[in-house]
Amino acid sequence: MGDRDAVSAACAATAIGVLFETFSAGGCRSYLLGCDASCAAILIDPELGLLDRYRGYLLQQGLTLRYVVDTHTHADHFSASRQLGEAFNVPVVMHRLSPAPHADLRLDDGDMLMTGSLKITALHTPGHTRDSMCLVMADRVFTGDTLLIGGTGRTDLPTGDPDELYESLFEKLLRLPGETLVYPAHDYKGRGHSTIAQEIAANPRLQVTERTGFVRMMRDLDLAAPTHLTEALRTNMSGGKTVTELLAEAASRVPFMSMTELHGRLQDDRSELVVIDVREKDEFESGHIPRARHLPRGQLELRVNNELPDPTVRIVTCCEFGKISILAAATLRELGYTRAVALDGGVKAWCEAGYVLDRSPVT
Ligand SMILES: [Fe+2]
């Protein structure tokens, strides 16, 4: 479970009964707020890899999820808001300028979300992205990537703007009371939270308080692109599926065959097993599993009827790494080849297991 944050003092101070849980995954932080009295909950910046943990926590605490909020369109990880919105039938909340079609409830600067005793006010803080917002709740602010502990969000990714970040920070966020607790969407050093006053005093990026200098500093940062940038943006902006999700869905619909099982069956002359290699022609011809037939993934639906007239035939699909073959086996099952399975591993693993390859060309 996530790092339990000690909020009893904060709750007493703010006189609100609030359950507060931080979830961490690879530097990403998500926050769950729960109202003791009404059992309503709000989840901020959920991450796809933690779906089951959120579900488990809500169940364990007897909370009912009311809203899922993304502080902005994330470029560095996969948001779980669409999946949670669908699973719990609750609105996905984002800023008005969010490109995500699955955002059901779009907030403007100053809008407030209310459920039970939870009241969260949106501050539009563009700069890291155009749709960035910070969420203020009583004694704390969830800063997304606008303000990090000892840093700020970068401004060089799509819709980022250092001028806007300057205004969002110096003319808005940093004007909150100094004692306001700061909870960012990222922290890679295991620090729980900070305060506005601490950040003003010690955050290196905030020491450049003059606009031109700040903008120049942000422009001069030479940061590497985040991993999965394109896929994360595509998925988070469109609500489309991640490759991992597609593979997991397909994998749940197909059985697998082990490398040794296939090897054993290929030694048996009576075996009627059909091995289908779904890679491209040149890959196939550079070495394939003996007896494999070539039927590339891109032509599977068009050619399979002619190639395999008997839908009851036993098929095992293979590819280079054992991923595309899962999609291919799932497609074959959908087309009525109900005995299609995928090889656990691919041609690469076949070689590593010491099994021979056939290098004959496509016939
Ligand atoms: Fe971000």
The answer on 95 and 26 residing in a single domain is yes
Poorest-pLDDT segment among 108-112, 126-130, 135-139, 265-269: 265-269
- The answer to whether 277 and 293 are in contact (CB under 8 A) is yes
Please report, rounded to a whole number, the percentage of residues in the chain having pLDDT higher than 90: 78
Write phi, then psi, for 199 (nearest 5 degrees).
Answer: -65, -45
What domain range is 51 assigned to?
3-240
Q: Does 150 map to a domain?
A: yes
The answer on 316 and 172 residing in a single domain is no
Helices (H) and strands (E) in the chain, counts: 13, 20
Closest alpha carbon to 51 in 19, 71, 76, 77 = 77
Residue 231 has pLDDT above 90, yes or no: no
Residue 225 has pLDDT above 70, yes or no: yes
The answer on 123 and 43 residing in a single domain is yes
Q: What is the pTM of this model?
A: 0.76
Please identify every residue whose CB atom is under 5 Å from ligand 1, which is an ion.
Answer: 74, 145
The answer on 234 and 311 residing in a single domain is no
Mean pLDDT, residues 259-270: 92
- Report the CATH number that the domain containing residue 264 is assigned in CATH: 3.40.250.10
- C-alpha of residue 118 to centroid of ligand 1, in Å: 25
Mean per-residue pLDDT of the chain: 91
- Report the CATH number that the domain containing residue 127 is assigned in CATH: 3.60.15.10
Residue 7 pLDDT level (bands cut at 50, 70, 90): very low
Quote the tokens at residue 354: 């010491």
The CB-side HSE value for 207 (13 A sphere, CA atoms) comes to 6
Residue 192 has pLDDT above 80, yes or no: yes
The answer on 271 and 231 residing in a single domain is no
- C-alpha of residue 239 to centroid of ligand 1, in Å: 16
- The answer to whether 208 and 217 are in contact (CB under 8 A) is yes
Structural domains in the chain (count): 2
- C-alpha of residue 81 to centroid of ligand 1, in Å: 14
- C-alpha of residue 58 to centroid of ligand 1, in Å: 25
- C-alpha of residue 72 to centroid of ligand 1, in Å: 7
Please give the sequence-ordered ranges of beta strands (E in DSSP) within the chain, or none if there are none.
3-4, 18-25, 28-35, 40-44, 64-69, 92-95, 105-107, 112-115, 118-124, 133-137, 140-144, 147-148, 151-152, 181-184, 194-195, 256-257, 274-277, 293-294, 315-318, 340-343
Domain end point (choices 185, 214, 240): 240
- C-alpha of residue 28 to centroid of ligand 1, in Å: 10
Residue entry with tokens 């902005």 = 72
